[in-house]
């Protein structure tokens, strides 16, 4: 049996360092936070190879005295707290005094710094925790720390790193957050020799939001402002109609510190309930200010999780101010729509069209059967849809439908649409609840879910044509801003997008350009689809390509299908029923919900006690 062995302190220190410094982005985070604590106004961050080769952070902060430089890299060396009771009133970002120490143990560091009180700069190299000689160097006031070959002496930690592109994306999203929390600081991010991001640094939250997310997000958001005793909430939140599918972009700062917080997120989403489509989430950037001693930031070593001493108060405040902002926005919007009608005499048709969800029969209707396009007048059209109209439907002789189960509502047991005679001998009764199409047969009625049916029909069409995909070139290409990881995934999966009918191109800085899209998709849906697909791929990297493609086809079909509750013209309904008849094998939508149910005449009569 192996005996217990006390680890050599150099090994245990290395392990501890690896726990605190676990990837390039957390090195960048610690270095930038030190610059912010040093009152820097300009911070430049440069990385190569996802930060594994080099991370260089330069600032114009107050610098480090030559006499303190060695101490800065010693364990638990900090200039930020002197006494234990200060821990509870921390306002600076770092205070554990372990970041520089840990980073220096697992990399090769070079520091250049100068304070305003010194005439000459200080230069120092530290390799794997071993200090070199301090020397003079020409330098401006401020500090530059260059971290080379991160984890060169901890290969196990190195193995855990993700692809360079993903590590870069993490750093870039970190810089986004820091520039949002510090709009007064000018940030510049250089990635592999190219400037990848610059913040405005003009002190305005709106400028920071614009720089980080771009025009779309900015235009689609509402300002939040709330003040109560000991609590201030400001920032931006998406308008309900601009909520996004996919990865949540909800950024919270509490007293200037970026935090993850379920409490805030839940309150935000609760406020959006009933104003927003299911499956989407609002995006936001919130700045919350509370007294320093009413939050505990020491819940998690990375300091990203916090605990409020009065959770209910925070949650209520978020809920209230978001809900009020949404309602205010809705009132504004309504007024815009109502205003033009206020002084106009009410036109009968306008009002009736809006309220009348029932079908309107046109004099002429167009029917498409397979490839041919037939123009029909109403009489012919009726003949096609009600083939036995002229004869009395009750007196017709029908094949009896054999149903396997004897319940009131019987879903088809197999994927076989109504039998041949049934398909030929039905009467279209109409549409109910703007959702279901009713067909009458001799001894049953068929209730068709128009959305589910249409969705499956489109899905079949897409899947059958997948090899020579029906794609439309967009006259106006669409620019989509993606969240950092979704962006990386989209670029890496251009091929898969192309197989689904989307031609996309990298447009840099988290943006992609869509040049063509599937034929069935509506223009205003394309952006959402790209976001959803990128998000899906990023969460299902290991899924097979066929499965991914099926998911994408389903997604397109669902979006392109007639919506339940939407008004559908008689032509569209006729076309839908025609398609169903032409595809006798389908009975379920791609998500597995039934397309139609059959209600037996017998069961109706039983309920009326006729039988
Ligand atoms: P902490 O930030 O928790 O104090 P660190 O290990 O990150 O611990 O830094 C140690 C000390 O080094 C800081 O307390 C600060 O005095 C000094 N320091 C680090 N980076 C900078 C910087 N960019 N400018 C000025 N001082 C710095
Ligand atoms: Mg620090």
163, pLDDT greater than 50: yes
pLDDT for 418: 52
CB-CB contact of 411 with 418 (8 Å): no
pLDDT for 167: 93
Residue nearest to atom 1 of ligand 1 (CA): 97
- The Å distance, Cα 56 to ligand 2 centre, comes to 15
Q: What percent of the chain has pLDDT over 90?
A: 38
The dihedrals phi and psi of 451, each to the nearest 5 degrees, come to -70, -50
Task: Identify the nearest ligand to the CA of 81 by its number.
Answer: 1
Q: Please identify, by atom number, the ligand 1 atom nearest to the C-alpha of residue 98.
A: 6
459, pLDDT greater than 90: no
Closest residue by Cα to residue 17 from 303, 301, 306, 304? 301
CA 198, chain centre distance (Å): 23
pLDDT for 376: 35
Q: Please identify, by atom number, the ligand 1 atom nearest to the C-alpha of residue 101.
A: 6
Average pLDDT over residues 479-503: 90
- The Å distance, Cα 29 to ligand 2 centre, comes to 9
Cβ-in-10-Å burial (0-12, 13-18, 19+) of 443 comes to middle
Task: Identify the nearest ligand to the CA of 56 by its number.
Answer: 1
For 599, the token pair is 């209600």
pLDDT for 107: 95
Q: Please identify, by atom number, the ligand 1 atom nearest to the C-alpha of residue 61.
A: 24
Task: Identify the nearest ligand to the CA of 98 by its number.
Answer: 1
- The Å distance, Cα 99 to ligand 1 centre, comes to 8
Least confident of 71-80, 302-311, 405-414: 405-414
The dihedrals phi and psi of 164, each to the nearest 5 degrees, come to -55, -40
pLDDT for 388: 41
- The Å distance, Cα 465 to ligand 1 centre, comes to 61
Most confident of 11-25, 38-52, 218-232, 542-556: 38-52
Q: Name the more confident of 74 and 341.
A: 74
- The Å distance, Cα 539 to ligand 2 centre, comes to 33
Q: Please identify, by atom number, the ligand 1 atom nearest to the C-alpha of residue 102.
A: 6
Closest residue by Cα to residue 120 from 105, 135, 98, 131? 135
Residues 355-386: tens digit of each pLDDT: 333 232 233 333 333 333 333 333 444 444 44
pLDDT for 81: 56
**pLDDT, the chain, mean:** 79
β-strand partners of 228: 231
pLDDT for 82: 57
Residue nearest to atom 7 of ligand 1 (CA): 99
CA dihedral 243, 249, 255, 259 (to 10 degrees): 140
pLDDT for 575: 85
- The Å distance, Cα 96 to ligand 1 centre, comes to 10
Q: Name the more confident of 497 and 346.
A: 497
Residues 436-451: tens digit of each pLDDT: 999 887 788 889 999 9
Task: Identify the nearest ligand to the CA of 76 by its number.
Answer: 1
Mutate to test the pocket of ligand 1, among 34, 57, 126, 185 (most ligand atoms within 8 A of CB): 34
446 Cβ contact partners less than 8 Å away, ≥ 6 residues apart: 418, 426, 438, 439, 440, 596, 597, 598, 599
Place of tokens 């902060």: 61
Residue nearest to atom 2 of ligand 1 (CA): 94
Q: Which residues surround ligand 2, an ion (CB under 5 A)?
A: 34, 94, 99
Q: Name the more confident of 605 and 6.
A: 605
Average pLDDT over residues 293-320: 82
**Which protein residues touch ligand 1 with a CB less than 6 Å away?**
30, 34-35, 38, 59, 61-64, 72, 77-80, 94-101, 143
549, pLDDT greater than 70: yes
Mutate to test the pocket of ligand 1, among 16, 20, 30, 37 (most ligand atoms within 8 A of CB): 37
Q: Name the more confident of 417 and 332.
A: 332
223, pLDDT greater than 70: yes
At residue 108 the predicted structure's pLDDT band, cuts being 50, 70 and 90, is very high
pLDDT for 87: 46
DSSP-assigned letters across all residues of 539-585: H-TTS-HHHHHHHHHHHHHHHHSPPTTS---HHHHHHHHHHHHH-TT
Closest residue by Cα to residue 126 from 69, 80, 76? 69
- The Å distance, Cα 204 to ligand 2 centre, comes to 26
Q: Please identify, by atom number, the ligand 1 atom nearest to the C-alpha of residue 99.
A: 6
Average pLDDT over residues 133-138: 95
- The Å distance, Cα 292 to ligand 1 centre, comes to 21
Most confident of 138-152, 399-413, 548-562: 138-152
pLDDT for 130: 94
Mutate to test the pocket of ligand 1, among 61, 72, 110, 142 (most ligand atoms within 8 A of CB): 72
- CA 165, 166, 167, 169 dihedral sign is positive
pTM summary value: 0.60
- The Å distance, Cα 196 to ligand 2 centre, comes to 25
Within 42-146, residue ranges assigned H as helices are 69-72, 99-105
Least confident of 39-53, 65-79, 198-212: 65-79
- The Å distance, Cα 325 to ligand 1 centre, comes to 41
- How far apart, in whole angstroms, are the C-alpha atoms of residue 99 and residue 64? 15
Residue nearest to atom 16 of ligand 1 (CA): 79
- CA 310, 311, 313, 314 dihedral sign is positive
pLDDT for 318: 94
- The Å distance, Cα 100 to ligand 1 centre, comes to 7
Least confident of 162-171, 204-213, 252-261, 397-406: 397-406
pLDDT for 341: 44
Residues 247-279: tens digit of each pLDDT: 788 999 999 888 889 999 999 998 888 777 777
β-strand partners of 194: 191
39, pLDDT greater than 50: yes
CB-CB contact of 583 with 575 (8 Å): no
Average pLDDT over residues 209-216: 86
pLDDT for 300: 66
Residue nearest to atom 8 of ligand 1 (CA): 97
Place of tokens 């998500």: 591
Most confident of 51-55, 77-81, 591-595: 51-55
Q: Please identify, by atom number, the ligand 1 atom nearest to the C-alpha of residue 35.
A: 23
């Amino acid at each position: 049996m192996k005996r217990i062995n006390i680890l050599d302190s150099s090994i245990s220190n290395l392990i501890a360092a690896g726990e605190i410094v676990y990837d390039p982005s957390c090195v960048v985070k610690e270095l930038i936070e030190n610059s912010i604590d040093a009152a820097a106004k300009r911070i430049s961050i440069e990385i190569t190879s996802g930060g594994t080769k080099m991370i260089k952070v330069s600032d114009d902060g107050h610098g480090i005295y030559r006499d303190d430089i060695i101490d800065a890299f010693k364990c638990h060396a900090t200039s930020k707290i002197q006494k234990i009771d200060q821990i509870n009133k921390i306002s600076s970002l770092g205070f554990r005094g372990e970041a520089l120490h840990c980073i220096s143990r697992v990399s090769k560091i070079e520091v250049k710094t100068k304070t305003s009180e010194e005439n000459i700069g200080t230069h120092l190299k530290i390799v794997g925790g071993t200090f070199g000689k301090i020397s003079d160097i020409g330098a401006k006031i401020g500090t530059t720390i260059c971290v080379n070959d991160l984890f060169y002496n901890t290969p196990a930690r190195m193995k855990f790193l993700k692809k360079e592109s993903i590590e870069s994306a993490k750093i870039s999203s970190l810089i986004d957050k820091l520039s949002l929390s510090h709009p007064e600081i000018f940030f510049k991010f250089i990635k592999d020799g190219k400037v990848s991001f610059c913040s405005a640094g003009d002190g305005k939250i709106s400028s920071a939001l614009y720089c980080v997310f771009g025009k779309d997000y900015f235009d689609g958001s509402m300002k939040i402002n709330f003040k109560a005793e000991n609590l201030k909430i400001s920032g931006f939140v998406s308008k309900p109609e601009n909520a996004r599918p996919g990865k949540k972009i909800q950024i919270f700062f509490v007293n200037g510190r970026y935090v993850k917080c379920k409490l805030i997120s839940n309150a935000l989403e609760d406020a959006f309930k009933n104003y927003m489509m299911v499956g989407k989430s609002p995006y936001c950037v919130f700045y919350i200010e509370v007294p320093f001693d009413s939050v505990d930031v020491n819940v998690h070593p990375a300091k990203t999780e916090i605990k409020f001493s009065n959770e209910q108060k925070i949650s209520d405040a978020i809920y209230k101010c978001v809900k009020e902002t949404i309602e205010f926005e809705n009132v504004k919007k309504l007024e815009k729509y109502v205003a033009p009608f206020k002084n106009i005499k009410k036109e009968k048709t306008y009002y009736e069209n809006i309220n009348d969800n029932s079908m309107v029969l046109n004099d002429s209707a167009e029917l498409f059967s397979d490839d041919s396009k037939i123009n029909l007048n109403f009489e012919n059209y009726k003949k096609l849809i009600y083939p036995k109209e002229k004869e009395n439907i009750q007196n017709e002789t029908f094949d009896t439908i054999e149903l396997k189960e004897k319940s009131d509502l019987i879903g088809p047991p197999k994927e076989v649409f109504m039998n041949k005679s049934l398909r030929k001998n039905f009467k279209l009764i109409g549409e109910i609840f703007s959702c279901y199409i009713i067909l009458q047969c001799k001894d049953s009625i068929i209730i068709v879910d128009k959305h589910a049916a249409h969705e499956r029909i489109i899905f079949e069409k897409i899947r059958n044509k997948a090899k020579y995909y029906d794609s439309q070139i967009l006259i106006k290409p669409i620019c989509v801003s993606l969240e950092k990881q979704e962006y990386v995934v989209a670029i890496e999966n251009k091929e898969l997008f192309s197989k689904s009918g989307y031609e996309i191109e990298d447009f840099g800085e988290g943006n992609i350009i869509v040049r063509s899209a599937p034929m069935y998709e509506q223009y205003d849906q394309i952006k959402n689809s790209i976001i959803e697909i990128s998000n899906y791929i990023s969460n299902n990297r290991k899924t097979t390509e066929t499965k991914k493609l099926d998911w994408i086809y389903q997604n397109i079909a669902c979006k392109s299908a007639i919506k339940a509750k939407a008004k559908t013209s008689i032509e569209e309904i006729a076309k839908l029923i025609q398609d169903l008849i032409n595809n006798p094998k389908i009975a379920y939508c791609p998500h597995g919900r039934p397309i139609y149910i059959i209600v037996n005449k017998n069961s109706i009569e039983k309920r009326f006690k006729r039988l």
